[in-house]
Chains A and B, each alone.
Chain A
Amino acid sequence: MNAFQATLLVAGKDLRMELRSKDSLNAAIAFSMAMLVLFSFAFDADAEQAREIAGGLLWLIFTFAGTLLLNRSFARELPNDCLEALLASPLPAAGILFGKAVSNAVLLLAVELICLPVFGIFYNIAWTRQWLPLLAVLILATWGMSVIGTVFSALTVHLQLREVMLPVLVYPVLIPSLLAAILLSAHLIGGQPLNGDTYAWLRLLVGFDVIFTLLTGAVASKVLVG
C-alpha cells in the first residue's frame, strides 16, 4: 500500500470514528460558539469595527478549537493499545501522519464553516462577498495548522502534560501562517478583492504549507517510531 492510499485509509478511519462519537467535534463547536458570544461582549463592536477585527477574532477561535481537535488526534488511539497496533501495521508512517492531518483538517474546516455564518449573523456582517478566496485561505491555513498540529500531537501523546504542551509547541510555529490568515480573512470578509500586498501574504501562506508538508513527510518515520 502506498502512502497516498494509506493517507485516505487513515483519514477515513479517523473521520468515521469522529462522526460516530462526535466527541471532539461537539466540544470544538460548542467552544467556538461560546467564544463568539464572549467576544461580542468583550468588544461590543458595530458592523464596521467587527469587520476589522473579524480576522483576528475568527482565527483565535479556530486556533483554540483546533487544539481541542488535535489533542484527541493521537490520544484517542491510546486505549486498548490502538496506537501500537497502528504503528505495527504495514501502513507507511507518512500515510498515518498525513491521514490524521487530513482528518483533522476536515474536522476543523467543518467547525470553521459552521462558525462563519453564525459569526455573520451575530455580528451583522455580509462575509460572503469574496467567498471563494476566503475558502481558499481557510483551507490553506487550516492545512498548515493540521499538519503541524498532527506532528506535535504525535510527539506529545505520551506526555503527562499533553494538553498543556501541545499549544505551547504549536502556537509559536503557527504564528507566521496565522498572521497571514488573520490579515487575509479580515481583508476578504471586508469584501475587498486580493491585490498586490495581500498576494504577498497569500504566497507566505502557500509557502508555509508546502515547507511544513514536505518537512512532515521527511521526518514522519522518526515521529512515529520514537
Chain B
Amino acid sequence: MRQKFILLALLIAAVMFSWNLYRIFLVLPDDAEQGAIYRVLFFHVPALWAGMLAFFVAFVGSIGYLVKKELHYDYLSVANVEVGLVFSIIGTVMGMIWARPVWGIWWTWDARLTSMFICILLYLAYILLRRAISEPRQRAQFCAIFSIFAFVDIPIVWYSIRWWRTQHPQPIVGEPGAIDPAMKSVLYTNLIPMVCLVAALVAIRMYQEETQFTLDRLRRRVNAAE
C-alpha cells in the first residue's frame, strides 16, 4: 500500500514536472521586464508553499502526538519537518538566484526573507533537539512541543509581507490581472508535482523512522537476552 502510494506520487510528480518544464522553457515567452530569470519563480514559489504545507502537517502531527501519544504522529512530524526544511532551503536559494539579477543583490534583510531565515533556523533547532534526546517517547513529546512553538512563527512569515512594507514583490497570486493567465496556470500546476514529491519523501522518511524504532527494540531485546 505504502509502496504503491510512493510510486504513484513519484509518477505524478515526474509526469507533471516534465510537462511543466516543457511549458516553462519552450512555450512561455521571456518576461518583458525580467527576461528569462523569472522562470525560477515557477519553482521558488511552489517549493516554499510545499515546505510550508509540510511544516503545517508537522504541526498537526505534533498536536496529534500530544493528544494521542502514538509514535506514528511523531514519525509524521519529523518526516514533514525534515522534508519541509529541505524544500524551504531550496525555495529560499532559488529566490536568491532570482534576486541577484533582478534586485542586484543576493540577500536583503527585509521582513519576509528574514522571517524565512528564522523559520529555517527554527526547524534546524528542532532537528538538533531531536538528536540530543535518545528515549523515543521523551523525544517525541519534547519535539512535539518545540514544533508547536516553532509553527507559531509561520504566520509571521506568511503575513509579514502585508505587515511591513518591504522590498519583496507584493503578492501577485490571487489578484486578478496581476499575472498572465498562462504563467499562473504553470505556477499553480507546478505546485501539484511539488506536493506529490513532498508526500513521497515524507512516506519514505516515515518508513525509515518505523524501521529504526523496530531495530532499536530488537537491539534492546538482544542486549537484555545476553
Contacts and interface: CB of A to CB of B under 8 A. Distances in A.
B128 A173 contact: no
B152 A155 contact: no
A175 B164 CA distance: 16
B133 A159 contact: yes
A169 B125 contact: yes
B149 A215 contact: yes
A148 B149 CA distance: 9
B148 interface: yes
B163 A176 contact: no
Interface in A169-184: 169, 171-173, 175-176, 179
Interface in B142-159: 142, 144-146, 148-150, 152-153, 156
A35 interface: no
Given A176-B118, A226-B138, A165 B128 contact: yes
Interface of A: prevailing SS = helix
B149 A173 contact: yes
A159 B132 contact: yes
Given A151-B145, A165-B132, A222-B141, A172 B152 contact: no
A172 B122 contact: yes
* Interface residue range, chain A: 20 to 34
Interface in B185-200: none
B66 interface: yes
B121 interface: yes
B122 A155 contact: no
A1 interface: no
* Interface residue range, chain B: 20 to 34
A151 B149 contact: yes
Nearest to A176: B156
Interface string B147-178: 01110110010000001100000000000000
A161 interface: yes
Given A176-B156, A200-B163, A211-B152, A169 B145 contact: no
B8 interface: no
Contact of B148 (A148, A172, A215): A215
Contacts of B148: 215, 219
A223 B144 CA distance: 10
B129 interface: yes
B118 A169 contact: no
Contact of B153 (A152, A155, A160, A176): A176
A155 B121 contact: no
Contacts of B163: 200, 204
A100 B74 CA distance: 28
B88 to A, nearest CB: 13
A212 interface: yes
B11 to A, nearest CB: 37
Nearest to A173: B149
Nearest to B155: A211
A225 to B, nearest CB: 8
A168 interface: yes
A169 B156 contact: no
Contacts of A161: 132
Nearest to A172: B121
Given A151-B149, A169-B128, A169-B146, 10 more contacts: A148-B149, A156-B129, A159-B133, A165-B129, A169-B129, A171-B121, A172-B118, A175-B118, A204-B163, A226-B142
12 contacts: A155-B142, A161-B132, A165-B132, A168-B128, A172-B118, A172-B153, A173-B122, A176-B153, A211-B152, A215-B149, A222-B145, A226-B138
